Structure formats: C-alpha cells, structure tokens
C-alpha cells in the first residue's frame, strides 16, 4: 500500500521530525537501520500534538473500560462482599481505600480501590483467571506490561506474582515469541586469486514491478567486487 506513493508521517513525538537531519554518529546501529528502512518509503515527518492525534489513539489504545465485557457484573458484585480477602483488606488500616461505586451503564455497584486516583475493583478469586485472559489475550504483551495492564484496572492480593506466572505459562506467547535467538558464527571463505573465480548469486525482492518482474538476480565477483543485477 505504501510503495510508490508519496505520503507524510505525522507523530506526536516532536524529536522524531529531526531524525533524518541529524548526523549518523549520534545514532545507534539499530536506529540507523530503522531510519534506512523508513527512508525507502518517506522522509516527510511532521509534528502533530497528542490531543489532535486522534487516529493513532484510536488504533493503539484500548478503550477505557473498568470491567471486561465477558464478566457477569451481578455475580461479580455478589462474590465481593463475603470474600475473606476483601474483608481483611477492608478492615486493615493500610493505604488502600475502598468505596462502593456504580458500574457505568448498569445498576450494579462494586467495591473499588480509589487510593491511586484510579477506580480499581477488587477481584474475587473465581473471576481472576477470566479477567487475566480477557486483558492479556488482547495483544499478548510481556510479563511487565501485563502486570501493569492488570494492576492499573483491577486489584487483588498478590496479583503481580500471579499475573506474571500466568503470562509465562501462556501457550500462544510461547509459540509466537522467541526468547533465545540462535546466532550462527560467521563463515570463512578462501580469498579468490583471479577475477570471476568465485561469484556470489542471490535473489532480491519482492520489489516494485518493473516490466512485469518483481525480483532481481544479483551476481557479485568476490575478487573485483563487480556486481550485476538482472530482472
């Protein structure tokens, strides 16, 4: 969709607008590779304030909801009050501050911690796995991100350790994420003594169509560095 088109990149991170004008000596090798990749498509970067960056917010941020939709709000509220862990937390003099608040759009009221300025409902034991699955399965983030994601919205004793264990045991995460990369050693080849003794051949592509072709055959002579490319 982007190849062969002129477009402008809008970002609310203002320092990025000078990314293509700064010296490469100030960039890390990874930043140089990223800029090289982006530069193949567009070098026009413009700043837009975060309050006006509506498109990015709608695509990258999850709508602010306190309770995931798969939760039965009425059963959730019934399980809160007789819960022994909740009674212990509510009776202890600590930094937690519970209030009975109404769920938006419903007649159900839940006990929520408001000590941090954010409404965090107390989660009974039987609802914890379902809440974790609902939030974690949105994008399968890592351990730290999932713990923060759950902790910003819900509360129960020892949730950090429990959420971390569930995240490490997530089967889709183990299938889709590589924790250890296998790095092969660099190969050693004898130096050729004459031209065209050793020619390296490779296919490059897919590229933008040219005369009906999308791949190029490249040949490089290792002795003279002479290169040829053919569609």
pLDDT of the residue at 187: 77
- pLDDT by 10s per residue, the chain, length 231: 777 778 888 888 888 888 888 887 888 888 888 888 888 888 788 888 877 877 766 555 544 444 445 677 778 878 877 777 777 777 775 677 777 777 766 677 788 888 778 888 888 888 888 889 888 888 888 889 999 988 888 888 888 999 999 998 888 888 877 667 777 788 787 888 888 888 989 998 888 888 888 899 999 998 888 889 888
Q: Give the residue from 199, 200, 204 showing the smallest Cα distance to 217.
A: 204
pLDDT of residue 63: 47
pLDDT of residue 184: 77
The pLDDT assigned to 66 comes to: 47
Phi, psi of 204 (to 5 degrees): -115, 130
pLDDT for the residue 111: 81
Nearest to 153 by CA among 119, 102, 127: 119
Phi, psi of 73 (to 5 degrees): -60, -40
C-alpha count within 13 angstroms, C-beta hemisphere, residue 115: 13
Distances (CA, A) of 11 to 3, 23, 34, 126, 197: 20, 21, 16, 42, 51
- Do β-strands 109-113 and 98-102 pair in parallel, antiparallel, or remain unpaired? antiparallel
Strand order in the sheet with 227-230: 199-204, 216-221, 227-230
Domains and CATH numbers, the chain: 9-64 (no CATH), 73-176 (1.10.340.70), 199-230 (no CATH)
**pLDDT score, position 67:** 47
Which of 53, 48, 27 has its CA nearest to residue 38?
27
């Amino acid at each position: 969709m982007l190849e062969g088109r002129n477009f402008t990149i809008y970002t609310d991170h203002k320092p990025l607008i000078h990314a293509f004008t700064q010296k490469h000596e100030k960039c890390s090798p990874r930043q140089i590779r990223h800029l090289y990749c982006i530069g193949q498509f567009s070098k026009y970067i413009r700043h837009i304030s975060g309050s006006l960056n509506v498109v990015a917010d709608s695509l990258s941020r999850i709508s602010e909801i306190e309770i995931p939709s798969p939760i039965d709000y009425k059963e959730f509220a019934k399980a809160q009050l007789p819960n022994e862990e909740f009674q212990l937390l509510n009776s202890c003099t600590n930094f937690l501050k519970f209030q009975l608040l109404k769920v938006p759009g419903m007649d159900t009221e839940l006990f929520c911690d408001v000590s941090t300025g954010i409404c965090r409902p107390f989660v009974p034991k039987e609802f914890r796995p379902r809440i974790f699955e609902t939030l974690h399965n949105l994008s399968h983030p890592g351990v730290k991100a999932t713990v923060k994601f759950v902790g910003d919205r819900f509360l129960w004793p020892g949730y950090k350790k429990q959420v971390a264990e569930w995240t490490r045991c997530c089967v889709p995460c183990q299938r889709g994420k590589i924790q250890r990369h296998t790095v092969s050693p660099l190969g050693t080849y004898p130096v050729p003594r004459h031209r065209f003794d050793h020619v390296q051949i490779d296919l490059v592509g897919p590229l933008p169509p040219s005369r009906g072709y999308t791949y190029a055959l490249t040949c490089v002579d290792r002795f003279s560095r002479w290169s040829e490319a053919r569609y």
